[in-house]
Amino acid sequence: MADFLDLGEPPQPAAAAQPYRVLARKYRPQTFNALIGQEAMVRTLENAIRRDRIAHAFLLTGVRGVGKTSTARLIAKALNCIGPDGQGGPTIDPCGVCEPCRAIAEGRHIDVIEMDAASHTGVDDVREIIDASRYAAVSARYKIYIVDEVHMLSKNAFNALLKTLEEPPAHVKFLFATTEVNKVPVTVLSRCQRFDLRRIPAETLATHFAHVAEAEGVAAEPEALALVARAAEGSARDGLSILDQAIAHADLAGGGVQADAVREMLGLSDRNAVRDLLGLVLAADAPGALAAIRRQYDLGVDPAGVMRALLEAVHGVTQVKVGGGDDAALPAEERAAYRDWAGKLSFPLLHRLWQLLLKGHEEVARAALPIETAEMAVLRAIHASTLPDPGDLARRLANGAMPAAAPAATPPTPAEPADRSPATFAALVDLLSDEKQAILAFKLKQGARVVSYAAGEIVFSGSRPIAADTLSDLAAALRTLTGRQWRLSLADVDGAPTLVEAELAAVQARHDEARADATVAAALDAFPGAELIDPPAAQRSFQ
């Protein structure tokens, strides 16, 4: 008999590789304890289940990615769990091992029906639910309908559902989820127990992402996770998707998840650069601020992102100033900078910066030239940061003190004429008259009420506004006549009388003083109809 060659055990087929699951699906919460940021809702559900006060319809609302659909599935598991021994009842802690729990988690339970209202909007789709709800559950305790994005149902579909929703069979529960609760009819809202799922705080998300990164065996910098959490804007799903991308980006780079890489991936403005830019704005360093914006733009940062980062910085400083405390998600050096600015900047200045930057952000978002618009917005903010505070001006005027003169914006060069700044506003108007600027001088005599005057700066009262073209003409004339730039602005306070008003008041005072003289009074009595007049020179001074 021939010998057979022993070849050993035949090779076994390699186990099929498990398909990759994105983090948002892999770490979908399977218990209420794993549902982050929604403690108040979980507590209410727990009390309702323990007291056997379970509503027949639930409405879950909130922004994307906060756990609406996950919560609906958890409620379905909680209501249908039978425990490992098959004898359990509804519980806030479903076992996860019984057949109903496993079937619901895998999306194959015959009595838990999920429907996307975005693709099933009509009456016929709702009619199928109504007809099927009459029949008892096949194997579960409750037949549960989960309708996602319920606001997409048509008006007729909502109307068809109302009667069944108000008086459903005892074995049926409805779970609705929506991101736009304002589009759900009030008649439906009144028939549901409503839960508003909150945005998840950035700190909570960062902690959660740290656990996920550890479970995935990936090193991650705390600042990188904080950036991911901020970009998620309260959405766990969005944050996990960003973290998924960051991990892939880190693998390609050969390292862990690093803050610089995340910032580059998201196209975020560097926080150090933002602090430097805000410092340049507050220091009124226009060339430096423009150069800083261009550097960010050259690195690929969106101009709108720069404006948004400046807004966040101003908001952060204001929060510190009102005693809101430090944001733990911020780097230590950023918290220190905010505290320093909060001690130096006034509330009016912070509010003014916020309004100017907010307007700039809106302009950049719709501008045909975004980077140029961002530069102009920052220049506007720089100009506003150097203006005196109207409230401070009013207080100083009330106390009899005039504001100190601000330094000239641009010192004259040797080639420019010497500084001929008049000592008073009246002298300035006379100078304009002498230089054949009679029309401009006349407008200023008649309409300008001065709040403060100093060489290089005039603050006019906004209670009697001066036309913009008059201010423009005045700035140009002063530049030529005095050899320096002048800062002209309006303040919402009452200023001094106009030159005409002041001269008329002076004439009236002289007339009153003359009438008080006994000789003049006797003359006026002796000659009825006689009037007091000023010399021609006095008349010419205010005509």
And the tokens for 32? 């209420």
Whether the Cβ atoms of residue 373 and residue 361 lie closer than 8 Å to each other: no
Q: Which domains does the chain have, with CATH numbers?
A: 23-196 (3.40.50.300), 202-266 (1.10.8.60), 271-386 (1.20.272.10), 425-496 (3.30.70), 500-540 (no CATH)
The angle subtended at Cα 160 by Cα 159 and Cα 166, nearest 5°, is 80
Q: Mean pLDDT for each 10-residue chunk of the chain (543 residues)?
A: 54 61 86 85 87 89 88 91 88 89 89 88 88 88 92 91 88 92 91 89 89 89 86 87 85 70 72 84 88 86 88 89 70 80 85 90 90 91 70 59 49 48 84 77 84 86 74 81 81 82 83 76 71 58 42
- State residue 416's pLDDT score: 43
The amino acid sitting at 152 is M
Whether the Cβ atoms of residue 390 and residue 493 lie closer than 8 Å to each other: yes
- State residue 462's pLDDT score: 74
DSSP labels, 188-221: HHTTSEEEEPPPPPHHHHHHHHHHHHHHTT--B-
- State residue 176's pLDDT score: 93
- Strands 450-454 and 457-461, by their bridges, are antiparallel
The amino acid sitting at 206 is A
Phi-psi region of 455 (alpha: psi -120 to 50; beta: other; left: phi over 0): beta
pLDDT in tens, 156-172: 999 999 988 888 888 99
Whether the Cβ atoms of residue 260 and residue 225 lie closer than 8 Å to each other: no
pTM comes to 0.58
**Burial of 176 (C-beta count, 10 Å sphere; 0-12/13-18/19+):** buried
What would you measure as the largest C-alpha separation in the chain, in angstroms?
167
Angstrom distances, CA of residue 393 to CA of 357, 390, 404? 24, 5, 10
Angstrom distances, CA of residue 472 to CA of 82, 314, 496, 500? 81, 31, 21, 22
Range 364-397 burial, b when 16+ CB lie within 10 A, else e: beebeebbebbbbbbbebbebbebbbbeebeebb
Crossing angle of helices 236-253/222-232, nearest 10°?
140
Tokens 């005072």 map to which residue? Answer: 509
pLDDT in tens, 315-331: 989 988 888 666 655 66
d(CA 540, CA 543) in angstroms, rounded, equals 5
